[in-house]
Amino acid sequence: MATVAATDTVNIVINDVDLQVPKGELVVEAVKRLGHEIPIFCYHPRMKPVGMCRMCLVEVGFKQPDGSVRKMPKPQAGCTLPVSEGMVIYTDTEMVHRDRKGVLEFLLINHPLDCPVCDRGGECPLQNNTIFYGPSTSRYIDIKRHAPKAFPLSEYVTLDLERCIQCGRCVRFTEEISGDAQLAFRFRGAAMQPSTFKLTDFDSKFSGNVIEICPVGALTSSKYRFRARPWDLETSEGLCLECGNGCNVWLDHRAAKLVRVNGRTNEAINEEWTCDKGKFGHDYYNSSKRLTQPLRREGDRFVPVSWGEAYAEIAAHLGAKSAALVGSTVSNEGLFCLQKLFKDGFGSENIDHRWTRTLPAAGERVAKRHESSIASLEHKKTVLVFGADLANSQPIVHLRVRKGWFLNETRVVVAHSQTTDADSFANLLLSCKPGSLDDLAMGLERAVAEAQKTDVQGFASFKDTEKTTSVKESALREVAAMLLEGNASIVCTASIYNENKPVETLAALAKIAAATGAEFNVYAEGGNDEGAMALGVMTGRNTHEILQDCAMGDLNALWLVGADPLTLHPSRRLAEDALEAVPFLVYQGLLECEAMGYASIVLPMEAPGEHDGTYTNIEGRVQRMQQAVKNPGDGKPAWRVFSELLVRIKPGRPSFSAKEIMDEIAATHPAFAEATYDKLEKEGTPLKPVIENFYM
């Protein structure tokens, strides 16, 4: 059995209570172990301490040989002071109370009394600390400073400079966490302010996080301003499906309207961060283009019909010569019921969820698809990011890789034909010519083979590889040496299938991983694409073949579930031809879209936060999202539509809840055996490993 690494501890005393804590732990964290609190403003546990606000002052002393305590002459900042043997800490003395009042009085000298109108009111650390620790009255009677109100830093972030207490959290976030360093303190003294260089737009892909970590109302959400008060809101646990990371979020809603999305802590996935797509990309919940009732085409217009009439129309037109194309936000339960409906009800297996340029056949498999968990990436010695723009397609993976580089000396290698955000911190950049990623992968495979002194017959020479990719032999050999040192991870995404020869590229990367012992990952990009792969939603004709069959008149009906081929498919011409030619088209979705104009039947679908369901993220972690808000119309969850229609076609017992369906999935798909509702863990339950998986 493996031994657990021992942690050095020290003996300290906190408020006359003896305690053992890890050596070097900050006082502010050690105090939490007793359930006590040290008030803070500038300190954040995920960023380096700076001691700017001085709100965390405590009395500190050391035990003497005679048992007495010799205190330091001045109070100490608990957020920057690490504990040491024999330290004695006092957080509730007369001096501490006096100092806290003094710090708050100083901060409030020029702070405006905006609490009645400030969006931070009710959840403001400055407001809370003032009530608990501050002076009862103000001695300040002079005119306070004034600055421009509601200055837009970007489309999403609004700055109210009068409220800023110069804690530096926002600036440090952009420097330490997101890494784009877009914010900085300009000027000095009373004029100091956080802003972008040259007053350009704050266009960070993670800008929304500074709103949440700001301890006052200086940085507020342009989308949320004046829409609600915290006590007006209902808050529900939710998941973001804007990409495949599966970030945990809080969904704040009021009067059946979603008004705000905040990050929710999940140490296994997003810690507490969100990207801007996830924080501000849920406007569709309240969109005026939401579909609210079933519609049937009559001539050149749609008329409302009942669900029963819609089901009858679909049952009359769909059969063995029909197919379905699915979007990336349908739950595991919805995907499973769709498969059952098509196989048992229509006698067809033509379902696919993939929209990339190349779609691998069923025989093109790889035994590795997501070997590295998101959290593990920050502890790797080497991470090779191959052909992926992580900040855009896998934003939380991007933050984890950067965190490993920033804190744990992870060496990051980026191989791409385009500029990416990861280039700014990459230890080595393999910038290749467009369309040459396959040659680059094979050149790297040769470098690994030569380093291991194995047969290199059949490989192109390094000279030829440099000619086709522009990457030098020395760089390939350097990367091979890094991977061979162990504890490495190769990261690419499903976007590789939009490149030349993706199957050959991935085969080469899989061989490199096998030869070096590196973990190999081909991360999905859609919200529940990994769930669709695990459930095998790709058994019959693939997406290209389905659209071609529709265009050629070989299919009688097509069902679009949360997907618009006109925007998702790489060939718009093929998508147009297919939608124009197919005799019967069902569009089931949240919003009106271009593809809806070709539909025979339109079905409203509930959004993910409007019903119970599970979703599988890129690392194969199954997470549950319960209903947060009500559907604004007569929409239904996808699984219920498919289940009700199947009962009409093939009488039997219908499914009454998403839980029942998940139990059935667990019974029929071994990978989901531990993912039933009664077994799902708070941070999600990983899929059980299976012998083989598709490339995507």
List the single range of 41-45, 414-418, 457-461, 655-659 with lowest mean pLDDT: 457-461
Instruction: Look at the block and give the residue holding tokens 């995507």.
Output: 696
Asked if residue 66 and residue 139 are part of one domain, the reply reads no
Residue 645 banded pLDDT, cuts 50, 70, 90: very high
624-643 pLDDT, tens per residue?
A: 999 999 999 999 999 999 99
Where does a domain end: 498, 527, 556?
527
Mean pLDDT of 34-57: 93
DSSP 668-692: H-GGGTT-STTT--TT-EEPPP-S-
460-509 pLDDT, tens per residue?
A: 999 999 999 999 999 999 999 999 999 999 999 999 999 999 999 999 99
The C-alpha torsion from 34 through 35 and 39 to 44, rounded to 10°, is: 90
Full residue range of the structural domain in which residue 145 is found: 109-221
Asked if residue 481 and residue 410 are part of one domain, the reply reads yes
Asked if residue 455 and residue 418 are part of one domain, the reply reads yes
The pLDDT of residue 457: 84
The percentage of residues in the chain with a pLDDT greater than 70, rounded to a whole number, is 97
- CA angle, 550 as apex, 549 and 554 as ends, to 5°? 55
The pLDDT of residue 517: 94
List of residues 6+ apart from 461 with CB closer than 8 A: none
Reading the block at residue 582, the tokens are 């197919």
Here the CATH number for the domain that contains residue 505 is: 3.40.228.10
Decide if 244 is inside a domain. no
Reading the block at residue 121, the tokens are 């009111």
Where does a domain end: 105, 131, 149?
105
The candidate with the shortest Cα–Cα distance to 609, out of 584, 637, 634, is 637
- CB–CB of 610/627 below 8 Å? yes
Here the CATH number for the domain that contains residue 571 is: 3.40.50.740
> How many domains does the chain divide into?
4
Residue 694 banded pLDDT, cuts 50, 70, 90: very low
Q: What is the mean pLDDT of the chain?
A: 92
Is it the case that residue 696 has pLDDT exceeding 60? no
Decide if 584 is inside a domain. yes
Residue 662 banded pLDDT, cuts 50, 70, 90: very high
Cα–Cα distance, 386 to 510 (Å, whole number): 12
Q: Kindly list the distances between the CA atom of residue 372 and the CA atoms of 27, 384, 529, 596, 667, in Å, as whole numbers in the listed order.
A: 34, 12, 17, 39, 26
Is it the case that residue 3 has pLDDT exceeding 50? no
Which helix (H) or strand (E) element contains residue 61? strand 57-63
Q: Helix or strand or coil: residue 24?
A: coil
The pLDDT of residue 163: 93
Decide if 287 is inside a domain. no
Asked if residue 397 and residue 511 are part of one domain, the reply reads yes
Asked if residue 674 and residue 646 are part of one domain, the reply reads yes
The candidate with the shortest Cα–Cα distance to 28, out of 68, 58, 69, 73, is 58
Mean pLDDT of 500-519: 93
Here the CATH number for the domain that contains residue 41 is: 3.10.20.740
Q: Helix or strand or coil: residue 177?
A: helix
Mean pLDDT of 23-27: 93
DSSP 471-496: --HHHHHHHHHHHHTSSEEEEEEGGG
The candidate with the shortest Cα–Cα distance to 523, out of 696, 277, 275, is 696
The pLDDT of residue 366: 55
- CB–CB of 614/623 below 8 Å? yes
Decide if 118 is inside a domain. yes
Asked if residue 448 and residue 393 are part of one domain, the reply reads yes
The pLDDT of residue 688: 81
The C-alpha torsion from 87 through 89 and 94 to 98, rounded to 10°, is: 100
83-129 pLDDT, tens per residue?
A: 999 999 999 999 999 999 999 999 999 899 899 999 999 999 999 99
Asked if residue 615 and residue 546 are part of one domain, the reply reads yes
Mean pLDDT of 53-80: 92
DSSP 327-378: -TT--HHHHHHHHHIIIIIIS---EE---SS----TT-EES-SB-S-TGGGG
- CB–CB of 638/330 below 8 Å? yes
HEC profile for 544-562? HHHHHHHHHCCCCEEEEEC
124-176 pLDDT, tens per residue?
A: 999 999 999 998 888 888 888 888 889 999 999 999 999 999 999 999 999 99
Mean pLDDT of 654-665: 94
Asked if residue 154 and residue 199 are part of one domain, the reply reads yes
Cα–Cα distance, 408 to 410 (Å, whole number): 6
Cα–Cα distance, 148 to 594 (Å, whole number): 43
DSSP conformational letter for 99: H
The candidate with the shortest Cα–Cα distance to 58, out of 82, 83, 75, is 75
381-424 pLDDT, tens per residue?
A: 999 999 999 999 999 999 999 999 999 999 999 999 999 999 99
Cα–Cα distance, 71 to 95 (Å, whole number): 12
Is it the case that residue 652 has pLDDT exceeding 90? no
Asked if residue 406 and residue 493 are part of one domain, the reply reads yes
The candidate with the shortest Cα–Cα distance to 491, out of 572, 564, 389, is 389
Is it the case that residue 6 has pLDDT exceeding 70? no
DSSP 209-244: HHHHH-SSSSEEETTTTTS--GGG-EEEEEE--SST
Reading the block at residue 247, the tokens are 């970030």
171-218 pLDDT, tens per residue?
A: 999 999 999 999 999 988 878 889 998 888 999 999 999 999 999 999
Is it the case that residue 647 has pLDDT exceeding 90? yes
Q: Kindly list the distances between the CA atom of residue 612 and the CA atoms of 268, 272, 629, in Å, as whole numbers in the listed order.
A: 22, 23, 11
Q: Helix or strand or coil: residue 19?
A: strand
Mean pLDDT of 318-333: 96
Mean pLDDT of 302-326: 96
The pLDDT of residue 368: 59
pTM of the model: 0.94
Asked if residue 536 and residue 510 are part of one domain, the reply reads no
The pLDDT of residue 365: 56
Where does a domain end: 194, 221, 248?
221
